[in-house]
Amino acid sequence: MSPGFNSGLGMADSYFVASANAATPAPPLQGEVRADVVVIGGGYTGLHAALNASDRGFSVVLLEAGRIGWGASGRNGGQMIPGWRKGAAELVRRYGEADARRLFGYALDARALVLERIAEHSIACDLKLNGHLTLAAKAADCDWMREEADTLARVVNYPHASVLSAEEARASVNAPGFYGGLLDAWGGHLHPLNYALGLAAGAAIRKITLHENTRVTAIDTENGVVARTAHGSVRASYGVLACDALLGALAPRIAGRIMPVANYLVATAPLENPSALIARDLAVSDSRFVVNYFRLSADGRLIFGGGERYTPAPPSDIAAFVRPHMLKVFPQLAHTRIDHAWGGLVSISMSRLPHIGRIGDLYFAHGYSGQGVLISALAGRVLTEAMAGNAERFDVLSQIAPPEFPGGAMLRSPLHVLGMLWYALRDRL
């Protein structure tokens, strides 16, 4: 694959690129074209929006600065975690029982939408739906896990989560030092890049026009939406801005609501006995503020994510940076080879809930705060529902928009870094 705008942070070395399904490259945009909808960004949000717009009869052109799926969508942990980045109990505290129930229902719709698209387009993406387990890194975490399981069952009518004792958690994940866990039987994992490539292949079959290596340099929202690139432009009735952490300076009015944070992963060599490390092919994360998340690949490797950096430059040796986090969880892997190491930019919001809204006819969704594999499908759906005149879910979600980071787009980073470092330090203590 040729390097593109979003190919930094070691993407070319990632396990997902090494195991990617064949994909037909799409040509860059040349000249001026018209469409009903122009989508900017070829990750999950943009691809779902494009497919949904096409379902509604709109003609769609999608512009991607680099390669399809080479943003967060092709390099993430692939963990499918039902719900929002904030748990059900927190949603009830913030919004009351009825609204929490409604929001959680939307998140379950997101899961259903992902599974529908995978089935519809026969996407080969190593889908495993055996559950997601959150491990308790502190004894006190078991308290909120009990509260969460209870709220899920009693308030939002979701009976699929259960609390595990330390012994039960250890029987699922052979890692010392955890106090228990919260198992969500509806969680799972998938190959993130192949899922994105499969969505794009489905879009191409639907006659959605895809352009890769086509960076939008300016957007005009005066009269409809015009997306301008170095060699052309798309004039459309509606636009979808789906650039997430890579939004940069394209839309300064909204950029201050999200912040990019770099996060890193490794894939080990295939393990001799992978199910002795993680049973039942679970997706797993822990309850630390700087979360460790891990699972097996289809060919029996451990894919482990851990360690964030708040400085722009990536570590010079990503494998060496992640390895201590991995060994802290799995000391028995001290002699296991790491075959792949890469990183990506997660976009987080102050509230850890997404920022969904519109500027005139330009709709946007971003800031899933590390839990976008499922929620992005909902975002793509509600943006196009709103375009087609049904803004019920769009209105609910735009009303829970996160506040701006203190200092806005200019100063958000240094101030937030201080806060994040404080919480990361508390983890260590």
Ligand X SMILES: Cc1cc2nc3c(=O)[nH]c(=O)nc-3n(C[C@H](O)[C@H](O)[C@H](O)COP(=O)(O)OP(=O)(O)OC[C@H]3O[C@@H](n4cnc5c(N)ncnc54)[C@H](O)[C@@H]3O)c2cc1C
Strands 188-189, 225-229: pairing is unpaired
- Please list every residue from 2 through 31 that binds ligand X, using CB under 6 A: 5-6
Query: Where does this chain touch ligand X (CB under 6 A) — which range of 238-246, 308-316, 392-400, 409-417?
Result: 238-246
* Under 8 Å between Cβ of 383 and 49: yes
CA distances from 85 to 80, 189, 293 (A): 12, 16, 14
Among 8, 305, 306, 402, indicate the residue that binds ligand X (CB under 6 A): 305
Phi-psi region for residue 280, left (φ > 0), alpha (ψ -120 to 50) or beta?
left
Which residues have a Cβ under 8 Å from the Cβ of 80 and sit 6 or more positions away?
A: 111, 114, 129, 132, 187, 188, 189, 190, 283, 373, 374
Q: Which two structure tokens, joined as six digits, stand for 115?
A: 């599974």
Regarding 233 and contact with ligand X (CB under 6 A), the answer is: no
Regarding 211 and contact with ligand X (CB under 6 A), the answer is: no
DSSP state at residue 200: H
- Please list every residue from 356 through 375 that binds ligand X, using CB under 6 A: 366, 368, 370-373
What are the residues facing 133 on neighbouring strands? 183, 284
Q: Which x/- pattern over 107-146 shows residues binding ligand X (rule: CB under 6 A)? A: ----------------------------------------
Helices (H), 251-304: 252-255, 274-277
- Please list every residue from 253 through 292 that binds ligand X, using CB under 6 A: 263, 265
The CB-of-395 to ligand X minimum distance in angstroms stands at 20
Chain position whose Cβ is nearest to ligand X: 372
Among 42, 180, 187, 307, indicate the residue that binds ligand X (CB under 6 A): 42
What are the residues facing 304 on neighbouring strands? 266, 294
CA distances from 143 to 86, 157, 160, 165, 181 (A): 16, 20, 18, 12, 10
The CB-of-351 to ligand X minimum distance in angstroms stands at 15
Regarding 348 and contact with ligand X (CB under 6 A), the answer is: no
Q: Would you say 180 or 380 has its CB closer to ligand X?
A: 380
Helix (H, G, I), strand (E, B) or coil at 365: strand
Among 145, 197, 242, 296, indicate the residue that binds ligand X (CB under 6 A): 242
Among 15, 16, 23, 46, indicate the residue that binds ligand X (CB under 6 A): 46
Q: Which positions lie near ligand X, rule CB under 6 A?
A: 5-6, 40-46, 63-66, 70-73, 75-79, 81, 215-216, 242-246, 250, 263, 265, 293, 305, 344-346, 366, 368, 370-373, 376
